[in-house]
Amino acid sequence: MSSVLISGGSGLVGHRLTELLSARGYSVSWLSRSSTTQTSIPINTYKWNVEEQTIDPKSISEVDYIINLAGAGIADKRWTESRKKVILESRTNSVNLLRKTLAVTPNNVKAFISASAIGYYGERGDQSMNENDTPANDFLGNCCVEWERAVDEIDKLNIRTVKVRTGVVLSLEGGALPKMAQPIKLGLGAALGNGHQWMSWIHIDDLCNIYIKAIEDEQFSGAYNAVAPLPVTNAQLTKTLASVVHKPLWLPNPPAFILKLALGEMSSVILSSTKVSAEKLKNEGFQFQFPTIDIALKQLYS
């Protein structure tokens, strides 16, 4: 039985990934600031503290694969300069701590698989982005570059590395979808801004299965766009979601300038148009369970 260590295991993706890995017979352990975890799944927990750069070295010495999901929430708080520092350093410092530990601890780690984000590409209008395209020169783009650069240092330890550039994750348990659905369910839903901005999304189970394929397929290496093959505009997503939950859309769209006033720089998360290609994943044999927004939302709300 192979063993997997997850940092950020208690988060939305980490928790679901733990369930799916356990169901496939993997032994799963988490890195956590606490020695106890709130989960019904039997897992081992190893303590670490990214701020203090401390970690139990047994966490590294006893696992076959590391999945890194650690990082402060992008949309949890307004982007003050101090908050942006937390968002960046929570990602780079966690990877750096794992790299330093791998470098000095005898281990048999076969692959290091890390989250990244499609914020790497930034505002690109209708252009379809692939893994070879250049990053955006904005906060999220620069954050993803530094994040991935830290992961690339682990590649120098002769450990296979994979960077999972993740789109908008659809799940009923948290993330963006419940926040989008709430006003629609109240009859107050509307597309955001002009609604033309592309949203590259992915069902949480497809995302978790990408991580599992990255473990099991030794040819997986480098960056991958973890998005469904058919992105949608914000207006299309809003219309489909309203149809699935059987609610009408009648309000006018809130203008972009209102959202920018309310959210500041963080408004780019919902207003930027990022149309991202999943061709690399498809070409390497990954099969999506939920390739269209209609199929994904109907499954989630069934």
Interval 220-229: pLDDT, tens: 999 999 999 9
* Residue 141 within a domain: yes
Q: What are phi and psi of 226, to 5 degrees?
A: -95, 80
Which H or E run contains 77? none
Question: Residue 36: pLDDT above 70?
Answer: no
The domain containing residue 137 runs over which residues? 3-169+203-227+277-287
- Specify the pTM: 0.96
Rounded Cα distance between 233 and 239, Å, is 10
Domains in the chain, number: 1
Question: Residue 246: pLDDT above 90?
Answer: yes
Name the least confident of 57-66, 141-150, 263-272: 263-272
Question: Residue 38: pLDDT above 80?
Answer: no
Question: Residue 299: pLDDT above 80?
Answer: yes
Cβ-in-10-Å burial (0-12, 13-18, 19+) of 44 comes to: middle
CATH label of the domain that carries residue 107: 3.40.50.720
* Residue 131 within a domain: yes
| CB neighbour list of residue 298: distance below 8 Å, 6 or more residues apart | 244
Q: Could you please report the per-residue DSSP string of 4-31?
A: EEEETTTSHHHHHHHHHHHHTT-EEEEE
